[in-house]
Structure 1
Amino acid sequence: MAGAVLLLLGLAVATSPRWLRPFVEAEASAALGRKVTIGQLAVSLSSPIRITLTQVRIAGTAEIADVPYLATIERLQLALDLDPLLHGRMLTIPEIAIAGMDVAAVQTRSGANNDSLVLPASSTGTHWPRPAIGVVRISDSHAHVLAPALGADIEIAISTDGGAEGTLIGDVAGTYQGQPINGRLTGGALLSLRDPANPYPVDIRLASGQSRISLVGTVSDPFHPQGADLKLELSGQDMASLYPLTGVASPPTPPFSLTSSVAYAGGLLHLANIAGRLGSSDLNGELSVDTRPARPVITGSVWSRRADLEDFIGLIGSQPGRMSTPDQTPAQQRAVAQAIANPRLIPNVPMDLSKIRSADFHIAYRGDSIVGRSVPFDTIATRLDIEDGHIRATDFRVGVGRGQALGQIDMTPVQDSMHTVADIKLQSLDVGRLLAATHLIHGSGVLGGEAQIDSTGKSLSDILVHGNGHLSLFMAGGNVSELIVDLSGLQIGNAALSALGFPDRAQIRCLVGDVVLTKGVLRTRTLMLDTTDHRTTVQGSVDLRTETIAAQLRTQAKHFTIGTLAAPIAITGTLKDPRFAPGAAELGARGAGALGLGLLFPPAALLPTIQLGIGEDNACVSLVREGAAHPGAPTATKPPPARPSAR
């Protein structure tokens, strides 16, 4: 082989380098699987010998005829050291210098591309033994990446630094999925690409809009990123803005930042040791992404030590965050302010099924502590499964004191809407914890019940407006602030004392609520609070289509009280801005006639749910049985017997 090389060089020098050019073109074409042409070839018999090629052209593909060349190189120079070859060792190339290289990597909307090469290891051409290469230097070179299907039009300025190994640098600018993108890619020496024993170092830092991403570490093969061992840092103003970059949809979020370790092998991307922040909440966990299916499959677990539910309400179509959420942009703060000022309470942002179908998810989430001045919840946990747009939230649990609300939500795509079925059970909820969120009314006891809905719609508002279902609430034992009872009965003297902090509590015998949802209208069948001294009843409706309230709240004393006025409280206004005033709301004959003392006994069918939610031995069970035995009969006004403790 050494003799053949020397013979070729001798012929080239003795006659003309043009005899060597066809040989080099043939070998390069066989190695790359593309036709390679050379404009001129020159040989300098210096030490080391230098071969200079100009106007090198690497052909494109027939599928993309309007891009004739994958790459052009204006000047390519190789330094050859023949001394090791003469002593029976390999050919040594101390330096390769590339100047004026332009690469055009194009992928059409149909998926055809011009940058798939047959690398030397798998080509069928005749090859010399792999030479030992010293350093590769690149100057004044560019790459243009064009992929209309991805919305990618990116220019990369390519160079190497002046170090001994020639670190590769790429400065990126352009657009991706309609978003501006810029940054810098830094890799190891080009020669380390061919050394599987030494992973290739990479340092990638990109910015797209207000999102920032960096990947620092090593990959075994940067052309097919197997064996990646990287550290990821990701930050931005809204996770939803990452959709053009990742292809995986997210609901709107407040500002976020996170770090994780990243490993990649066999099409599986694993993010471990995730730690970060979402608005005022922390995020931790690990995720795996299977990139092999048509839709990526994301599995894992995520948890928050402290979770602010306002950071997550983008899931239901609301504007996430608070005015106090850190690092918000002025636009985000204006959006939060507009959401606060919006007279509507229920979100009406339609779900985008195409984005929901962008990936499949199997995620377990838990929040160990829920923060927020007016939030009555303590913990939250659920498992979220999304498959081809079908959403299931199972093992859904919200902790309130020592009790919990638990259940499941199932949402199935139906054309461009979601058929939603939800079933929630309330078990021994801490009433004191619930009422503390009002910062006005106080109390204690346990609350049970259930809520169900069956509907089809495009948004949360749409689902409620078209929904049918019911809500049942039960409470036995405990106490509640006298203020709500006194004001609802217009007991002027006692109300004034209650507002000053005394008397402090009204002992509860039973609270029963039975509310039905029919085509978007909530109506009370029974809503009654029975204490040792009063019975408070509510009759009316809430029209979820307009979010308006039309209800009456009336308290009647079981014995004489000074300052009592026999008038109800009219509850009007909207869910966002309810109004309370003396007088009668327009409820119709049925509602007005039902407000008399003792006429609103709950139906006996509620007994099993009452017993499940708050226990069998309680005053509510006795009250329901009393109503079933004597329908329409008023309740005795004498004090009740001693009450066993609620379970």
Structure 2
Amino acid sequence: MTRGSKIGLWALSTLLTLLLAALVFAAVFDWNRVRPLVNEKVSAALGRPFAINGELRVIWHRGDEQDGWRAWVPWPRFSASDLTLGNPDWTAGKTRAQRFASLDRVEFSLSPLPLLWQRIVIPEITLSKPSADLLRLADGRANWDFQLPASEEETQQPSPWKLEIGSIGFDQGRVGLDDQQSKTRVEVQVDTLGKPVPFAQLAGKAVAGAGAASTQDYVFGWKVKGEYKGQPLGGQGKVGGVLALQDAGSPFPVQAEISAGSTRASIVGTLTDPLNLGALDLRLKLEGRSMAHLYPLTGITLPDTPAYSTDGRLRAELNDPAGAVFHYQGFNGKVGDSDIHGDLTFANRQPRPKLTGKLNSKQLRMADLGPLIGADSNADKQARGQSTRQPADKVLPVEEFRTERWRTMDADVELTGQQIVRDGDLPISDLDAHVVLNDGLLTLQPLRFGVAGGKLDAQIRLDGSMAPMRSQVDLKARGFKLKQLFPKFAPMQTSFGELNGDATLSGTGNSVATILGGANGEMKLLINDGAISKGLMEIAGLNVGNYLVAKMFGDEDVKINCAAADIGLAKGLAQPRVFVFDTENAIIRVEGSSNLASETLDLDIVPESKGMRIFSLRSPLYVQGTFKNPRAGVHAIPLAARGAGMILLGVAAGPAAGLLALVAPSQREDNRCAALLTQMGKR
């Protein structure tokens, strides 16, 4: 044997001897002797007391999952019992918890070979009875924020070492949270189920699908109670037994039934790649008294609605660099008595989150749209937990729009309604709405209804970024067929008449009442070839109109050749420039004003008979009182002499000419509206 061979053999023998000695030392060494040093170093690094109060052990074993020669490399398995981690000093007197976290026992194995490449690989960590009490003060300080001492922070460089944890297993535990910043105080308790529950048993075929075989069973049950953002919170559910942190293809099952205030949610599905917050795939059922109640819980701005319920698939990409994205897909549900279906996407992006999607309804009831503008009953408001009440003597809704919420997110949502029903008597079809919310500016362009064979087209702009809110509304009514508007009024069924109209208004205020109370604008309306009677007034629910028709025409059905109105609106005061009914018996004009701010009426109805057939047409009538309680009667002294109708025709030439554009084609050879307005325009 050469001298070089002897040196090499000696060096190898020495290395093996040292390695064997190190292994023997590690196996027989009493690791509890280093506990004080470990406790001291960790406490200094974290800036809070840390202690291993129980036994600290290291046991060596073979790598069972390794192949070939690697299977002979011994792995150290560390275990420690009774671990505690205290709170930082600033929590003194601000929390009832004595410590931040505690563990009955922790165990993990360390793969030795990756240490050569500066990788700390821990295939699995097992935690026994973990407990934590999380605290965040109103000023934002949180006991889960760990900061190194200032001197270490200044000199600390990114470590070349990488930590890789395969999965986390646990048996039972608890987590308490006291978040004074969001007014949340909850406690979560986790315990074993006793017998595993298969994922597919709770998820069903629609959710489980092809991935059910790779999804672990439910092993633990959990319960939560407390307050979330100031609202009572309670719930329970189930989760899997091992949380896979590195294997994105190993879904972690979750199931929950939670109530927060009036909102209830039920979920079942999986969480994948939890270390990177990879993705959620859940079936979500959601219900509550109003969609507006979701705002304090989720930050998503939705309107006030009647009670609702939905059921759909919630998918989320949680680690998108631009912000988490949530997709609520293929959901079906009800809002009040209306059905709703569609897809929504919520992207948590900057500068504001954005909600987009398409919704459709096969039957949408008008009563379910009332809460959008506060036009629902006080009983319904109370059921939704709404504090604003509609005054008993007011008609225009006083409930304010929550414009402060409009600036917290953007939206671009389309809504289609195949049929809209009002009391089952008046079908309104083909609702088409496009809602866009951008930095507090809400637009509905278009908001379109199919009404009685025609179209009501609205362009609405509500600028909630200003205080008070500024509003602009443009309405166009075209081709409303009178026989479809009043399907139960027999005389109208032979009519070929139509209703056409335009309206524009602008105003400021945060409720319908305040906007209209100071609004400026105008309204033009034209009806040709119709009929009128007490029966029609009863169908329309107009008690005052019923009285007026009875006084002027008795119980007869009277033909309307033309009804024309041009009403100006200035600072909430509506005054007719033209308001004329041309019937087969008389020309009837309406004068006076309506005050939208005080909701009061002061109108005079002056009939000019086309003969002496109806004696009552000699006397003018009045409508006074309020919108809520109007009063009608007969003037004791006539307001105008005969021929006043002709005077009206003379002074109304300008407004009359403006109404000619609304004249609808008629199947009569002589369109009475065209003739009347032409006559008025010439005088």
Instruction: State the TM-score bracket (shorter-chain normalisation).
Output: 0.7 to 0.9
3-state secondary structure, aligned to 1:57: strand
Q: Which whole-Å CA distance do the structure 2 matches of 1:250 and 1:460 have between them?
A: 18
3-state secondary structure, aligned to 2:628: coil
Counterpart in 2 of 1:395? 446
3-state secondary structure, aligned to 2:554: helix
Which of 347, 367, 370 is residue 397 of structure 2 equivalent to?
A: 347
3-state secondary structure, aligned to 1:464: helix
| Consecutive unaligned residues in structure 1, runs of 5 or more | 83-89, 499-503, 632-647
Counterpart in 2 of 1:518? 570
Structure 1 or 2: more helix by fraction: 2
Q: Which whole-Å CA distance do the structure 2 matches of 1:594 and 1:104 have between them?
A: 88
Task: Specify whether residues 50 and 455 from structure 1 end up closer, same or farther in structure 2 by C-alpha distance, changes over 3 A only.
Answer: closer
Counterpart in 2 of 1:308? 365
Matches within 5 A, 1:240-279: 240-265=292-317, 266=320, 267-279=324-336
Superposed displacement of residue 235, structure 1: 0.7
Counterpart in 2 of 1:282? 339
Counterpart in 2 of 1:11? 25
CA contact (8 A) 2:219 2:241 kept: yes
Q: Which whole-Å CA distance do the structure 2 matches of 1:269 and 1:75 have between them?
A: 37
Worse-superposed segment, 414-423 or 433-442 = 433-442
Letter in 2 for 1:57: T
Counterpart in 2 of 1:471? 523
Q: Which whole-Å CA distance do the structure 1 matches of 2:193 and 2:375 have between them?
A: 49
Superposed displacement of residue 466, structure 1: 0.9
RMSD: 4.5
Matches within 5 A, 1:196-595: 196-222=248-274, 225-265=277-317, 266=320, 267-319=324-376, 331-332=382-383, 342-373=392-423, 376=426, 378-379=428-429, 380-413=431-464, 415-435=466-486, 444=495, 445-481=497-533, 488=548, 495-496=554-555, 498=556, 504=557, 506-561=558-613, 563-564=615-616, 566-583=618-635, 592=640
Counterpart in 2 of 1:160? 192
Counterpart in 2 of 1:54? 81
Superposed displacement of residue 427, structure 1: 0.9
CA contact (8 A) 1:552 1:584 kept: no
Task: Specify whether residues 336 and 447 from structure 1 end up closer, same or farther in structure 2 by C-alpha distance, changes over 3 A only.
Answer: farther
3-state secondary structure, aligned to 1:315: helix
3-state secondary structure, aligned to 2:223: strand
CA deviations on 1:365-419 (whole Å, 9 max, x unpaired) are: 2222112228756033221111121111111212211111112111224643111
Q: Which whole-Å CA distance do the structure 1 matches of 2:619 and 2:46 have between them?
A: 92
3-state secondary structure, aligned to 1:40: coil
Superposed displacement of residue 473, structure 1: 0.3
Q: Which whole-Å CA distance do the structure 1 matches of 2:54 and 2:546 have between them?
A: 101
Q: Which whole-Å CA distance do the structure 2 matches of 1:213 and 1:432 have between them?
A: 47
Task: Specify whether residues 536 and 562 from structure 1 end up closer, same or farther in structure 2 by C-alpha distance, changes over 3 A only.
Answer: closer
Letter in 2 for 1:106: L
CA deviations on 1:36-76 (whole Å, 9 max, x unpaired) are: 64223244989999965233234667997878998532420
Task: Specify whether residues 314 and 487 from structure 1 end up closer, same or farther in structure 2 by C-alpha distance, changes over 3 A only.
Answer: closer
Superposed displacement of residue 269, structure 1: 1.0
Q: Which whole-Å CA distance do the structure 2 matches of 1:73 and 1:486 have between them?
A: 78
Superposed displacement of residue 193, structure 1: 3.7
Worse-superposed segment, 609-618 or 571-580 = 609-618
Which of 110, 127, 131 is residue 102 of structure 1 equivalent to?
A: 131
Counterpart in 2 of 1:639? none
Q: Which whole-Å CA distance do the structure 1 matches of 2:296 and 2:418 have between them?
A: 32
Letter in 2 for 1:154: V
Task: Specify whether residues 546 and 461 from structure 1 end up closer, same or farther in structure 2 by C-alpha distance, changes over 3 A only.
Answer: same
Superposed displacement of residue 147, structure 1: 2.4
CA contact (8 A) 1:261 1:274 kept: yes
Counterpart in 1 of 2:647? 599
Identity across matched positions, percent: 24
Superposed displacement of residue 31, structure 1: 13
Aligned residues: 599
Worse-superposed segment, 565-574 or 1-10 = 1-10
Q: Which whole-Å CA distance do the structure 2 matches of 1:556 and 1:3 have between them?
A: 125
Q: Which whole-Å CA distance do the structure 1 matches of 2:399 and 2:177 have between them?
A: 36
Letter in 2 for 1:429: F
CA deviations on 1:123-161 (whole Å, 9 max, x unpaired) are: 948679867x7x83423x321223222221111113333
Task: Specify whether residues 489 and 38 from structure 1 end up closer, same or farther in structure 2 by C-alpha distance, changes over 3 A only.
Answer: closer
CA deviations on 1:72-112 (whole Å, 9 max, x unpaired) are: 32420538799xxxxxxx9998993513x321333444555
Does 1:149 pair with 2:181? yes
Worse-superposed segment, 294-303 or 38-47 = 38-47
Does 1:625 pair with 2:678? yes
Worse-superposed segment, 228-237 or 506-515 = 506-515
TM-score (norm 1): 0.79
CA deviations on 1:244-277 (whole Å, 9 max, x unpaired) are: 2112233332211111211111211111112111
CA contact (8 A) 1:272 1:287 kept: yes
Letter in 1 for 2:190: I
Letter in 2 for 1:153: R
CA contact (8 A) 2:564 2:659 kept: no
Q: Which whole-Å CA distance do the structure 2 matches of 1:596 and 1:184 have between them?
A: 77
| Consecutive unaligned residues in structure 2, runs of 5 or more | 1-14, 63-75, 112-119, 148-156, 197-216, 538-544
Task: Specify whether residues 388 and 335 from structure 1 end up closer, same or farther in structure 2 by C-alpha distance, changes over 3 A only.
Answer: closer
Superposed displacement of residue 306, structure 1: 1.0
CA contact (8 A) 2:81 2:103 kept: yes
Letter in 2 for 1:196: A
CA contact (8 A) 2:122 2:165 kept: no
Task: Specify whether residues 37 and 276 from structure 1 end up closer, same or farther in structure 2 by C-alpha distance, changes over 3 A only.
Answer: same
TM-score (norm 2): 0.75
3-state secondary structure, aligned to 2:394: coil
Q: Which whole-Å CA distance do the structure 1 matches of 2:436 and 2:268 have between them?
A: 31
Counterpart in 2 of 1:169? 221
Letter in 2 for 1:190: V
CA deviations on 1:194-231 (whole Å, 9 max, x unpaired) are: 42111222112211122101221112234654322111
Superposed displacement of residue 346, structure 1: 0.3
Counterpart in 2 of 1:635? none
Q: Which whole-Å CA distance do the structure 1 matches of 2:570 and 2:601 have between them?
A: 15
Task: Specify whether residues 4 and 618 from structure 1 end up closer, same or farther in structure 2 by C-alpha distance, changes over 3 A only.
Answer: farther
Letter in 2 for 1:600: L
CA contact (8 A) 1:443 1:481 kept: no
Task: Specify whether residues 584 and 293 from structure 1 end up closer, same or farther in structure 2 by C-alpha distance, changes over 3 A only.
Answer: farther
3-state secondary structure, aligned to 1:150: coil
CA contact (8 A) 1:168 1:190 kept: no
Q: Which whole-Å CA distance do the structure 2 matches of 1:577 and 1:477 have between them?
A: 31
3-state secondary structure, aligned to 2:675: helix
Counterpart in 1 of 2:169? 136
Q: Which whole-Å CA distance do the structure 2 matches of 1:4 and 1:585 have between them?
A: 125
Q: Which whole-Å CA distance do the structure 2 matches of 1:155 and 1:3 have between them?
A: 54
3-state secondary structure, aligned to 2:647: coil
Q: Which whole-Å CA distance do the structure 2 matches of 1:204 and 1:240 have between them?
A: 22
